Structure formats: C-alpha cells, structure tokens
Amino acid sequence: MLAIAAGLMFIYRKIKTFRQAKSLVVEPISLITLFLIFLKIGAVLYGSGYVLLAFLRTELVHNLGIITNAQLIDAVAVGQFTPGPVFTTATFIGYLVLDVPGAIIATIGIFLPSFLIIWLLHPLIDKMRGSKNVKHVLDGVNAAAIALMAGVTIELGIASLNSILYGFIFIISAFLLIKYKLNSTYLIVGGAMIGLLMFFIN
C-alpha cells in the first residue's frame, strides 16, 4: 500500500511539473501525429519493452522535443511499478502530452500493429517456428535490440543520476541485483519508499 501511495504521489507531482513546463513547447503536436508516432513504434517494437525507450527517446525527445529525458524516465518509472509497463508508459506519455485523448490514442497506436500482425501471420506461425531463415533474422534483430537498449540506458542513466542520493540508490540496487539476485520487485518497492520519503521531505 505504501508503494502504491508513493507511486500516486509521484505521478501527481510529475504531471503537475510537466503541466507547468508545457507552455514552453512551441509547436504542440496533434492527436493524429501522436497516433502515427506510437503506431510506427508499435510496428517496429521487438522483444523487451525496454527497447521502447530507444524509440520514444528518438521520436519524442530528439526529433520533436515535446518531452525531456527526465520526463521519459518518469514515464518509464511509472510503468515499472504498475502491471503492463509498455501499456502504462505509452498511456502516461500520451496523457502528459495531450491529456485523456492523448492517453487513449497513444495506447491504441502502440498496440494496434501487434494485433494486426498476429492476426495476419497466425496461419504461418507454426511454419515460421521451424524456419532457420527466420531464426537468423531474429538473431540479428536481437543483436540490434541489445545495442539500442545499451545506448539508451547509458544516456538516460546519465540524465537520471543527477544527485548523490540517486547515485547511491543505483549502486546499492546494482549490487543487490548482481550479488544476491534480489527480485527486481523489491528494488522497485524500495525505490518507491524512498520516493515517498523524499516527497514528504520536499
């Protein structure tokens, strides 16, 4: 319950901060543009949801400049302590940019391609599983996906570790994860608890 409370406070605080800075956006995007962005991301998104970070950073931070690296990290953090991280991250960003309509459009856009692809390829799935050519293609995609995740992790990591406290949390979390194979859920809950404490302190 405390973790949920921390999460709700975190979301409220970040949305409020984003709204205050939103007036700095020179050319706000339309619902159609937002839908097409997430539709394109959903069409090429492969593997772990963390690959999503690379696409979101390229489209929304670098190309359009409608959110910052910090806001992208916030959206990902929200997704980590709620079910369905990809769903939550897309919905949260859509809401930040264009309120409730943006949340709906972003969510539909990112999931529509996967539904259509599965529907169209369903008759071929069994054949594709045993194909060596498909296996080689997926191996290449996996290698590219790892490179994308590594690049975006380094860049967003630098943006996130902007204080001694956050650096300390990172080091302790990495140590517990690597040394003791601690369940990542406990690390997320622990981070939420620290966020709750910082919320009251500030």
Which stretches of 81-181 are DSSP H helices? 85-121, 125-129, 132-160, 164-180
Q: Report d(CA 159, CA 73) in Å as an integer.
A: 9
In a domain, 195, yes or no: yes
Residue 22 pLDDT > 70: no
In a domain, 144, yes or no: yes
In a domain, 180, yes or no: yes
* pLDDT tens digit sequence for 93-147: 998 888 889 999 999 999 999 889 888 887 777 777 778 887 888 788 788 878 8
Residue 50 pLDDT > 80: no
* pLDDT tens digit sequence for 145-200: 788 778 777 877 777 787 888 888 889 999 999 999 888 888 888 887 887 787 77
Question: Can you give the residue range of the structural domain that contains 136?
Answer: 2-121+132-201
Q: Which tokens sit at 51? A: 């690959």
pLDDT at residue 52 in the model: 82
In a domain, 127, yes or no: no
pLDDT at residue 17 in the model: 56
Q: Report d(CA 131, CA 63) in Å as an integer.
A: 37
pLDDT at residue 175 in the model: 93
The residue with tokens 């975006």 is 152
For the chain, how are helix, strand and coil distributed in percent, rounded to 5? 85, 0, 15
In a domain, 126, yes or no: no
Number of domains in the chain: 1
pLDDT at residue 13 in the model: 55
* pLDDT tens digit sequence for 62-93: 888 888 887 888 787 777 767 777 778 888 89
3-state secondary structure of 84: coil
In a domain, 31, yes or no: yes
pLDDT at residue 158 in the model: 79
Residue 5 pLDDT > 70: no
**Residue 47 binned pLDDT confidence (cut-offs 50, 70, 90):** low
Q: Report d(CA 140, CA 45) in Å as an integer.
A: 14
In a domain, 24, yes or no: yes
pLDDT at residue 15 in the model: 53
Residue 8 pLDDT > 60: no
Query: Which of the pair, 134 or 46, is modelled with greater confidence?
Result: 134
Q: Report d(CA 61, CA 139) in Å as an integer.
A: 29
In a domain, 73, yes or no: yes
